[in-house]
Amino acid sequence: MSVRLAHTAVSNPRLAAQPPLLVLHGLFGMARNWRSVAKALARNHSPIICADLRNHGDSPHHQDMSVAAMVGDVRQFIEQQLDATPVHLLGHSLGGKVAMRTALLHPQLVRSLIVVDASPQPSGSKPGWFRSIMELMLSLDLSRPPDPSLAGTKKAYSEFLTAEVPEKAIREFLLTNLMEEPDCPGKFRWRINLPALLTHIEQLMGCELNSCQAVYDGPTVFIGGSKSPYIDPKDASILRLFPRSEIVFVEGAGHWVHADRPVEFCSKVTQFLRNCSQTAAAPGGS
């Protein structure tokens, strides 16, 4: 069963309306994490729509966290919220997996595809590490927070997670999912559906598209971080599944390409969208 995805939109009134750019975040992420990038991209393209995947952000929780279910959500979103207008579809990490499968199964809804630090291959990440982190997060007793303020509670929980997650930036990213109940100050809960993610983590990490018989022949770009191992330029499945694809890397960026090098990342996305527009406008363009 599909769920109705929460979303935010950024428009530029100085630009004529263009086909929407729909952004899908990664595991543990949410639409609001892309707010600054969306604003930067909207200087040259409008509108930019950032959606929360199911069990993330402000979207509904559901026990089914399969990639197939998420593809169904995206399809429904484009058909119902965007009147089936074909979109430029951008997905990062897990969102990239969802975006690729959406393009392969529903090409009539995808004008072009931007895959950020993901590939048709299994992610290569160890499910056990993610499982340990989520079990730690679930072990926190939110009914007895260490501090009455959200900031103080996040600080205490960050220290608790340090042994398993030594990188401060990753701890802060995970804890963006801790929120205070709007009508109950001092009461906290997780935005993400940790039990559902735990149930599906092996499937999500092992998701691959090699067995897919479909081909998406729209314009496609894979954008990787030069310090990240997730995109292999020698991966033959990329050209087999996405014959009009190119692969580019952002120098100095890791897995969170858009956060590590936002200016360079936005430049590559903007240039790709511009090329798509020029191709569509040319005689015989698609």
pLDDT tens string for the chain (286 positions)?
899 999 999 999 999 889 999 999 999 999 999 999 999 999 999 999 999 999 999 999 999 999 999 999 999 999 999 999 999 999 999 999 999 999 999 999 999 999 999 999 988 777 888 999 999 999 999 999 999 999 999 999 999 999 899 999 999 999 999 999 988 888 999 999 999 999 999 999 988 888 888 999 999 999 999 999 999 999 999 999 999 999 999 999 999 999 999 999 999 999 999 999 887 655 445 5
Long-range contacts of 172-177 (CB under 8 A, 24+ apart): 173/28, 173/29, 173/33, 174/28, 174/133, 174/137, 176/30, 176/33, 177/28, 177/30
On whether the CB atoms of residues 191 and 54 are closer than 8 A, the answer is no
Query: Both 13 and 117 in a single domain?
Result: yes
Kindly give the interhelix angle for 194-205 and 127-139, rounded to the nearest 10 degrees. Answer: 170
pLDDT tens profile 65-90: 999 999 999 999 999 999 999 999 99
**Residue 275 and residue 196 share a domain:** no
24 and 78 fall within a common domain: yes
Q: Same domain, yes or no, for 77 and 215?
A: yes
Asked whether residue 2 is assigned to any structural domain, the reply reads: no
Structure tokens belonging to residue 163: 């042994």
Q: Is residue 108 part of a domain?
A: yes
User: Is there a single domain that holds both residue 67 and residue 162?
Assistant: no
Number of domains the chain contains: 2
> 92 lies in a domain?
yes
Q: Containing domain of residue 168, as a range?
A: 127-201
What's the pLDDT tens digit per position in 104-155?
A: 999 999 999 999 999 999 887 778 889 999 999 999 999 999 999 999 999 9
Residue 1 included in any domain: no
Q: Contact, 31 vs 50, CB < 8 A?
A: yes
One domain for residues 113 and 238: yes
- Rounded to whole angstroms, the Cα distance separating 101 from 183 reads 39
Boundary-marking domain end, from 201, 219, 252: 201
How many Cα atoms are found within 13 Å in the side-chain-facing hemisphere of 162? Answer: 6
* C-alpha separations of 58 from 17, 67, 77, 89, 250 in Å: 26, 18, 15, 20, 30
In angstroms, the CA 204 to CA 174 distance is 18
Among the three residues 145, 178, 201, which one is the final residue of a domain in this structure?
Answer: 201
Verify that 24 and 137 share a domain, yes or no: no
* Domain termination site, one of 201, 231, 258: 201
Residue 24 sits in the same domain as residue 60? yes
Closest CA to 165 of 196, 136, 202, 122: 136
Q: Do 16 and 105 belong together in one domain?
A: yes
| Domain membership flag for residue 179 | yes
Per the domain annotation, does 286 fall within a domain?
Answer: no
**Same domain, yes or no: 109 and 225:** yes
Q: How far apart are CA 95 and CA 180, in angstroms?
A: 26
In this prediction, residue 278 carries a pLDDT of 81
55: left (phi over 0), alpha (psi -120 to 50) or beta: left
Distances (CA, A) of 184 to 265, 268, 271: 39, 43, 46
- Same domain for 22 and 140, yes or no, is no
Q: Evaluate whether residue 38 is within a structural domain.
A: yes
Q: Indicate which CATH number applies to the domain containing 232.
A: 3.40.50.1820
Same domain? 95 vs 223 = yes
Question: Is residue 157, in this structure, part of any structural domain at all?
Answer: yes
